[in-house]
Structure 1
Amino acid sequence: MKSVLIVDDEPGIQSFFLRGLTSRFDLIETAGDVKTANALLERCHFDLIISDIRLPDRTGVEWVTEMRDKGNLTPVIFITAYASLETAIEALRVGAMDFILKPFRLEQILAAIDRCLETQQLRRENFVLRRQLEQHLEVGGIIGECEAVHSVCQIIRQVARMPSTVLIEGESGTGKELAARAIHELSQRKGNFVSVNCGAMTAELMESELFGHVKGSFTGAHQAREGLFAYANGGTLFLDEIGEMPLTMQVHLLRVLEEQRIRPVGSNRETPIDVRILAATNRELVQRVKEGLFRQDLFYRLNVLSIRLPPLRERGQDVDLLAHHFSKRLSGELGVNALPLDRAEIMRLQAYDWPGNVRELKNVIERALLLGIMPSQCLAGTPSGRKQPVLKEEALLLEDVEKQHILRVLALEDSNKSAAARQLGISRKTLERKLNGWALE
């Protein structure tokens, strides 16, 4: 549902837009002055504002400047009968998408609106794509033939079109983000799928990332910026590692879930949103609640429905299916021949415990393709999967054993230091100090 706000003190102009824009917008509101326009903005979200430069209570440029400082980044098209080079420069400086002279034809307005909305959509899509590239997000379907995977897929199909929040649980590397993406794709929500790792940011940075901020709200905030909730409007926001979210942010998130409104950092204005929340965790949230590290009310609000993704060691023959899938896909990407995975090799892979789950299997297949060896030769341990390290005599020192174990866990977590530190039960600072000591930073 698209909406537009027309701000002009001429009734004839208002009537012109009310008649002419019904083919482009489901909701058209009009205001004759800034005070009325602000009241409408407090009440609902608009996809576009078309405003006269000269208004009774202040200029359109002054009003839009004030809106931008408060964190409202709604695109604006200015119209005016009093054009000058200085006015046009001022309009563009405050971020106007277009500048149209009166009198104008309906075709001019419709063309400007189409350009404006298309540019805004491209900006949001580019932002999401950049985040996906930066985070190396896995893209693809959930692959598996075991009963546990079939059950997960059935639940995803059932809940996808519902607006309820979903909590996805499972060990690291089981494909929680793939499940979240599948829910979004089947939901038919038209907005973006936006992912954020709650364990990778401080509370202050996370608040700005999620809700956006206004100009000057903190040191370095040189301009207003929309948050991830705004980019996910009409779509899905995936909160990965929700168990690591700081307690102060948990309070803010609970309020957003209950009221469906957000407030940018430094702003006193709230904005309505339409975002579906999906959350994932590899921690026992019930235990986190008992330890006082996770709010009980937020847990119940997120846990409307939970989906547990099974670890790879519980998926039987899926190791065979996944190994061939990764071998075929990665060999094409790397430009090498697929691996000759005979029955004996598959049995060796199935006997392994796969502590890193599907992610570890993918990494092992890729490593084998790069080195030109069999995947089982890349596994650390005996065929049973229980790690029985065979160390050289000089490597029997405790420090060497510790080093091998830490590097192993770091490799399983794709060099993600925060995740590796959590698995090891140490702080990230401790981990970085050890890596620096080994000159492996």
Structure 2
Amino acid sequence: MTAMPDFSLCRSASVLIVDDEPGMRQFLEKALDKHFGLVETAGSIDQAETLRQRYHFDLMILDVRMPGRSGIEWHEALQDPNRHSDVIFMTAYAELETAIQAIRVGAADFILKPFRLEQMMNAILRVLKRRQLLRENFLLRREVSQYLELENPMVGDSPAMKRLETVIQRVAPTPSAVLIEGESGTGKDLVARALHQHSGRQGPYVPVNCGAIAPDLLEAELFGHTRGAFTGANKARDGLFSFASGGTLFLDEIGELPLAMQSKLLRVLEQKAVRPVGGEQEVKVDVRIVAATNRQLSEEVKVGRFREDLYFRLNVLTLTLPPLRERSEDIPQLAHYFSRRLSRELGLEAVPFSHEDLRAMQGHHWTGNIRELKNFIERCILLGRLPLEELVRDDNTDSGQTGYPSCWPLDEVERRHILQVLDACDGNKSAAARQLGISRKTLDRKLAGWSGEDSDSDHASDQEQEA
């Protein structure tokens, strides 16, 4: 028995049918309307160009011989580098020269009339599968370049980590939304990736940092936009919701979303459809949402900075990640893991850790959690030694004192603490200022005063990612 074709790829796709025969247009429109998110028809190239300027089409089914201009002469569409559409040509004339011309202008397929509907549907599915592969390759390149940190596995055998792994295994196969809470640097992105890897979903994993995208661009980044929707929108573009269709969309720093954007996100989650900026048609999406924040969203709701209805929509299940200081038994394993990985990446020898070294690391507070530990191990490898002077213990078991050495002046304690928090926040000044409880302007003024003393502040400024 022949298996039924999988038309799931068509749900979020748009198609334009161009043929001067009304019967052919009606035949294809009726057949495709039940599978595609958007189906439009045109009886001439001029009508088709008008529609192309209004919508972005993933696929065009185009008759070669048309009154006026032929399909092969539709240069606006076939040679537009900014708005690419795959094209399936149709013709009733089996001429070799015509087929060669169609291939030269970029035809994805070529079908002779009359044809069976099955032939056309198979051709469409081949084209869309190739388009999906190109999309996944794009996402892979984007993921590797922007989220290399996600390659780290979840390391640790502490009770907290074992409980977390158990919950992930149970929850991952479900479509339910998951909210991940925890301090900055605790590995929320790794948990999101683990949820996707164990979900069984066939679509891609698409991470996006909501705090790193300018608010006026966030809607277009998530939902896509049409050509001319705003200044600089020279071509139509799919949003990350569309790219993630069939997979998982990880919304990191969800607490940074402006209230107006929260309202639009809520509607998308409820309707399971997106409307590109400047567009009129909604496109269905099948996306599993995982969100993360280093804020207490319940408190943000109380003070009016986060919508209560969106919070309840996301808070189907909350996973709270423990800070590194509450699972210090994992620090030796993490230190050895980062030492092996970073020594390979840097091309330098790993620094051996003694039992006393590991105990010193376990006694440190690690304000920036795993991210700070990784940066510390990297410095060890670069310096060729373990800078124990940076590891200030937070108990009085050895030294009889707490905090920084009593011989340090107050301004040096402040300087070291601010630079440590900035390093833990990966150079993000806005995030560091929030954690320190000071304004961004105050932080900038202090860093400017130290710029001639310590290159760390220059390094942090170079790495800054505005939230």
Same fold (TM over 0.5): yes
1:142 aligns with 2:154: yes
Which residue of 64, 68, 87 corresponds with 1:80? 64
Tell me if structure 2 keeps the 8 A contact 1:199–1:418.
no
The aligned length equals 411
Residue aligning to 1:92: 78
How far the C-alpha of 1:353 sits from its partner, in A, is 1.6
Which residue of 7, 17, 40 corresponds with 2:33? 40
Residue aligning to 2:372: 360
Give, in whole Å, the separation in 2 of the partners of 1:262 and 1:78.
27
Tell me if structure 2 keeps the 8 A contact 1:44–1:271.
no
Change (3 A) 1:265 1:401: same
Tell me if structure 2 keeps the 8 A contact 1:191–1:234.
yes
Give, in whole Å, the separation in 2 of the partners of 1:374 and 1:421.
29
TM-score, with length taken from structure 1: 0.82
Residue aligning to 2:455: none
Change (3 A) 1:302 1:116: closer
1:348 aligns with 2:340: no
Correspondences of 1:263-278 after superposition (within 5 Å): 263-278=275-290
How far the C-alpha of 1:432 sits from its partner, in A, is 3.6
1:63 aligns with 2:30: no
Tell me if structure 1 keeps the 8 A contact 2:16–2:60.
no
Give, in whole Å, the separation in 2 of the partners of 1:88 and 1:217.
24
Give, in whole Å, the separation in 2 of the partners of 1:119 and 1:206.
25
Give, in whole Å, the separation in 1 of the partners of 2:144 and 2:256.
21
Unaligned runs of 5+ in 1: 15-29
How far the C-alpha of 1:122 sits from its partner, in A, is 1.5
Which residue of 184, 200, 221 corresponds with 2:233? 221
Change (3 A) 1:418 1:269: same
Q: Alpha-carbon deviations, 1:338-363, whole Å to 9, x = none? A: 22222221111111121111111111
How far the C-alpha of 1:209 sits from its partner, in A, is 1.0
Change (3 A) 1:386 1:213: farther
Residue aligning to 1:2: 9
Give, in whole Å, the separation in 2 of the partners of 1:76 and 1:356.
51
Which residue of 330, 336, 348 corresponds with 1:324? 336
Change (3 A) 1:377 1:257: same
Change (3 A) 1:215 1:175: same
SS of 1:316's equivalent in the other structure is helix
Residue aligning to 2:191: 179
Change (3 A) 1:376 1:383: farther
TM-score, with length taken from structure 2: 0.78
Correspondences of 1:10-409 after superposition (within 5 Å): 31-32=26-27, 40=33, 44-45=36-37, 57-59=42-44, 62-63=47-48, 66-67=51-52, 69-70=54-55, 72-82=56-66, 87-94=73-80, 95-98=84-87, 100=89, 102=91, 103=93, 108-109=110-111, 114=126, 117-374=129-386, 376-380=388-392, 387-389=403-405, 396=409, 398=411, 401-409=413-421
Change (3 A) 1:77 1:404: farther
How far the C-alpha of 1:281 sits from its partner, in A, is 1.0
Larger deviation, residues 304-313 vs 84-93: 84-93
Change (3 A) 1:296 1:107: closer
SS of 2:290's equivalent in the other structure is strand
Q: Alpha-carbon deviations, 1:283-322, whole Å to 9, x = none? A: 1111111111111111111000111111111113211111
Tell me if structure 1 keeps the 8 A contact 2:179–2:315.
yes
Give, in whole Å, the separation in 2 of the partners of 1:329 and 1:319.
15
Change (3 A) 1:368 1:196: same
Give, in whole Å, the separation in 2 of the partners of 1:74 and 1:31.
20
How far the C-alpha of 1:261 sits from its partner, in A, is 0.8
Change (3 A) 1:117 1:92: farther
Larger deviation, residues 350-359 vs 91-100: 91-100
Amino acid across the alignment from 2:64: T
Of all paired residues, the percent bearing the same amino acid is 44
Amino acid across the alignment from 1:165: A
Give, in whole Å, the separation in 1 of the partners of 2:255 and 2:444.
22
What is the CA RMSD across the aligned residues, in angstroms? Answer: 3.4
Which residue of 426, 433, 439 corresponds with 2:438? 426
Give, in whole Å, the separation in 2 of the partners of 1:65 and 1:371.
63
Amino acid across the alignment from 1:93: Q
Give, in whole Å, the separation in 2 of the partners of 1:85 and 1:267.
26
Unaligned runs of 5+ in 2: 1-7, 100-107, 112-121, 452-457, 462-467
Change (3 A) 1:382 1:9: closer
